[in-house]
Amino acid sequence: EAGVVQSPRYKIIEKKQPVAFWCNPISGHNTLYWYLQNLGQGPELLIRYENEEAVDDSQLPKDRFSAERLKGVDSTLKIQPAELGDSAVYLCASNAGGTGELFFGEGSRLTVL
Amino acid sequence: AQTVTQSQPEMSVQEAETVTLSCTYDTSESDYYLFWYKQPPSRQMILVIRQEAYKQQNATENRFSVNFQKAAKSFSLKISDSQLGDAAMYFCAYSRNQGGKLIFGQGTELSVKP
């Protein structure tokens, strides 16, 4: 069974440029999460989807961040424009319910210059 | 608001020895879930062990076990017979319900000396 797939793994951009990250969760997992992980810290939730509905986006900086999960499967997280402080790892995870275990992708590491 | 605290930024253990990582949390809920996740360098985070708050028995998974003290809101991870592959960042996490968001601690970086 394929795990959570994220792309790109690494991205370097100039500040004020846009960037997008893509995530494909494990097949059949209805819940999808985007987490932000700063260097040396624990992940923090940005947004959680139940199918195509964003059920928790209270921590998403909506002035520059947006996300979508149009068909309730894969998801895209966008930043426009990027700022220096956005340099971090963006983690995607999915969950099928049941045990509550989250399955994580390898993350997308963003560097903003 | 729920919080998770890991007071040990770094820990070190000799191969084959035992190490305990500490975690405390704060919640007003009576039912919840606690997790330990492992994040190797540049690799994906994986679940090590989970504990349901309503279960009094401490969870165990092979060399990994927890000491869950509900009244003290403490949830420590014990790794027995440490192996070189155990070297990683370990995160303690809390969830109010299945499928809900995980709240993570700051992490403990574990190194294993040969």
Distance of CA A6 to the CA centre of its chain: 9
Minimal C-alpha gap between A29 and chain B (Å): 10
Residue with more model confidence, A104 or B96: A104
Residue A89 has pLDDT above 80, yes or no: yes
Instruction: For chains A and B, count residue pairs whose Cβ atoms are closer than 8 Å.
Output: 58
pLDDT in tens, B18-56: 999 999 999 999 899 999 999 998 788 999 999 999 998
Q: What is the SS3 assignment for A48?
A: strand
Q: Scan residues 8-47 of B and list those with Cβ closer than 8 Å to A.
A: 33, 35, 42-47
- The answer to whether A102 contacts B47, with C-beta atoms less than 8 Å apart, is yes
Minimal C-alpha gap between B22 and chain A (Å): 15
- The answer to whether B50 contacts A101, with C-beta atoms less than 8 Å apart, is yes
Give chain A's end-to-end CA distance (angstroms, integer): 37
Q: Contact, A97 vs A30, CB < 8 A?
A: yes
Q: Scan residues 51-90 of B and list those with Cβ closer than 8 Å to A.
A: none
Distance of CA B24 to the CA centre of its chain: 10
